[in-house]
A = this chain, B = another copy of it.
Amino acid sequence: MRVGLKIEYEGTAYGGWQRQKNAPSIQQKIEEALQQAFDVLCRVVGAGRTDAGVHAYGQIAHFDIETSIPAQRFSYILNQKLPADIRIVESWEAKKDFHARKKAIGKHYRYTIFQAPHASAMERNTSLHVPQKLNIDNMRKAAEFLVGEHDFSAFRSVGSNLVGTVRTIYRLEVNQDKNHIYIDVWGNGFLYNMVRIIVGTLISVGKGKLDAQNVREILDSKDRRRAGATAPAKGLAMCEVFYDEKNEEYPAK
């Protein structure tokens, strides 16, 4: 049976989603929980490899296991074994050909900025503190240039092994609610650090270091050195992964 998982985690204590030598990872913790609960070694495949310190409300993963236990029970069983900063929100029996990463057709990420003279104690690990007031209108204008299908070479860190540099951003929103500024991005896929470099660039626009129009030029240049800094991981969260619902690979909402 192939089991699908929807996972929420605070990434602060982890080296990221993917198993690695020098730090605990979310993938490792879930695989260990499976081993503890069922005494089997399962490889858990995630929809995306979130970096160290990046959070998730809706990471999706799958694994295969031979068992008569209903897939819906796995969330309860695994949550008993997992640390409190990783929670299985939902588990379900997936189709045999479901693949959390390969079948994903889009993702929604949110970046949270805390804009106030001082950082937030409560949100110190889940937001980026920016003391300056940001020009939201200019950030929105800049964001418009990034929506659509583009070569995002200027907005990626090298070292990624993904194929191609053309991606489509469906929506890119900048919204303010009192001290919080949320940058929400929906796309069919993201290059390495792409969301964090977009955020860093929009923050530069918000601070007046870049004009909105510059962002179009940066995009056209395909030159990473011209874009803004990579915004810190802690403000980023993977909110949702999208699949083709007609294929019934993901349970109905």
Q: Which residues of A contact B (CB under 8 A)?
A: 8-10, 55, 57, 75-76, 79, 84-90, 116-122, 124, 126
Contacts and interface: CB of A to CB of B under 8 A. Distances in A.
Contacts of A9: 121-122
Question: What is the total number of copies of this protein in its complex?
Answer: 2
Contacts of A90: 117
A126 B121 CA distance: 12
A156 B120 CA distance: 31
A122 B124 CA distance: 12
A18 to B, nearest CB: 18
B126 A122 contact: yes
Nearest to A55: B122
Given A76-B118, A86-B121, 7 more contacts: A8-B120, A79-B119, A87-B120, A87-B121, A87-B124, A89-B118, A90-B117
A88 B120 CA distance: 9
A44 to B, nearest CB: 16
B75 A117 contact: yes
B124 A84 contact: yes
7 contacts: A9-B122, A55-B122, A57-B122, A75-B118, A79-B119, A87-B120, A89-B118
A118 B88 CA distance: 7
Contacts of A10: 121-122, 124
Nearest to A89: B118
A85 B121 CA distance: 4
Contact of A8 (B8, B121, B126): B121
A121 B88 CA distance: 9
A127 to B, nearest CB: 12
Contacts of A75: 117-118
Contacts of A87: 118-121, 124
A9 B121 CA distance: 5
A252 B90 CA distance: 47
A50 to B, nearest CB: 13
A126 B85 CA distance: 12
A119 B79 CA distance: 9
